[in-house]
Amino acid sequence: MVKTIEWKDGKVLMLDQSRLPLEVNYVECSDYLKVAEGIKKLWIRGAPAIGIAAAMGIALGAQDITASNYKNFKTGLQKVMDDMLATRPTAVNIKWAVERVTKLLSDNKDRTVDELKAMLIAEGIKVLEEDIEINKAIGRWGGQFIKDGDTILTHCNAGSLATGGYGTATAPMLVAIEQGKRIQVIADETRPVLQGARLTSWELMQAGVPVTLITDNMAGAIMKKGKIDLAIVGTDRTTRNGDVANKIGTYTVAILCKEHKIPFYVAAPLSSIDFKMSSGDKIPIEERAPEEVTTIWGHRVAPEGVNVINLAFDVTPAKYVSALFTEKGAYRPRDIKSLAKKDMDLESIRLKP
C-alpha cells in the first residue's frame, strides 16, 4: 500500500495527492510552513491524514524554536499550532492533534526543551501508527454490516490516502474482502477536486477491490435500478448529536439512500468526532477557490467571469445516518455522545448488523 505521510530523517515526507494518479511524487517538508502549505493545497487531504500532518508539522516546527525554557518554548509552539489550525477549518482532526500536543506539553512541564522536542517527534509518529490500528478496528466493526455479494457506494476518498493507511470508509470493504465476501464498490467521481475518480478508484484498484467509477449525478439512477446495497462514507467532523460533515455531495447521497431505503453508514474515528460541538450547523464549512469549479485540471470549462459557489463540505443531519462505524464499535447517531463518557457500558448501546 502506498505511504501517505511519514517522518523521515528529521523531515516530513508527504505524497502529493494533487497530481495523482498521473504523477506519484513525494514532497519533502523540512519546515512546518511547507507542511501547512501541503495541507492547504491538498497535497495531503482527508481528515485523519491532515491530523497526522498537523501533529508531524508541529513536531517539525518545534525543532526550530530556539527558546531554552518551557514558557518561551510553549509560546513559540503556539504560533506553529495556530498556523496549523488556520490551514483548513472543517476537519476537526487538526484541532484534535493540537489538543493532543497541548496536553503532552502540560503533562511534561518539568522536561527540558530538548526532551520536549524529542517527545513531539515521537508523538507525531505515534499518531500515524495509532491511526492505522484505528482504521483496522473500524474495518472489523463495519465489515460485519457488509454481506457477500453487496455493492457499496462511496463518495470522495476516505481510503488509505486520506489516513495513515487502510482508510476509514474503505476499511470495512477491505475486511469484507479478507473474509472472502464478494463485493463491488461504486465510487462517485466527486467534483470539483475528483477525489473519487483520481484517488479512490486508483487505490481500490491497487488493493484488488472491484471498483466502478460513476459521475456524481448518476448515483440516484443506479440506486433506482436496485444496484446499490449500502453506502459508506467518511467524515471530517461529526458533532455530538450525530450530524456529519463530509465532502460536498455527501448530503445528496444520504437523501438518495433514504429515498431508496439503502443504509447510509459513516466511518468515523473518534479523532473526527467533535464531542464539544452540539450540532452540525455550527461546523465551519471551508469555501475554496472558484477555479476548482471553473476548471478541470487546469482546463477551463466555464466562461470567464461566471459567478461560482465552491463549498468543500456539506452537513448530513443525523436522521439520515443509519450507523457510525468507530474503532469502538458501530453506533446509532444519537448514541455517539456516549462515547465521550468514561465508564459507559458501550456494549449495551452498540449496534449489531
- Residues within the interface to ligand MRU (CB under 6 A): 45-48, 91, 156, 158, 162-163, 168, 195, 234-236, 246-247, 312
CB of 6 to ligand MRU, least distance (A): 18
Q: What is the DSSP string of 47-107?
A: HHHHHHHHHHHHHHHHHT----SHHHHHHHHHHHHHHHHTT-SS-THHHHHHHHHHHHHHT
- What residues does 326 pair with on adjacent strands? 329
236 catalytically annotated = yes
Place of cell 461504486: 186
Which CB, 40 or 117, lies closer to ligand MRU? 40
DSSP 290: T
Which CB, 15 or 156, lies closer to ligand MRU? 156
CB of 115 to ligand MRU, least distance (A): 33
What is the rounded CA–CA span in Å between residue 217 and residue 190?
A: 10
What is the rounded CA–CA span in Å between residue 102 and residue 62?
A: 12
Q: Which of 83, 114, 229, 236 is catalytic?
A: 236
What is the rounded CA–CA span in Å between residue 223 and residue 191?
A: 19
Closest residue by Cα to residue 308 from 288, 283, 286, 329: 288
Which CB, 91 or 321, lies closer to ligand MRU? 91
Give the other-Cβ count within 10 Å of 177's Cβ: 18
C-beta nearest to ligand MRU: residue: 234
CB of 261 to ligand MRU, least distance (A): 24
CB of 166 to ligand MRU, least distance (A): 10
Which CB, 47 or 277, lies closer to ligand MRU? 47
Give the catalytic positions in this structure: 236
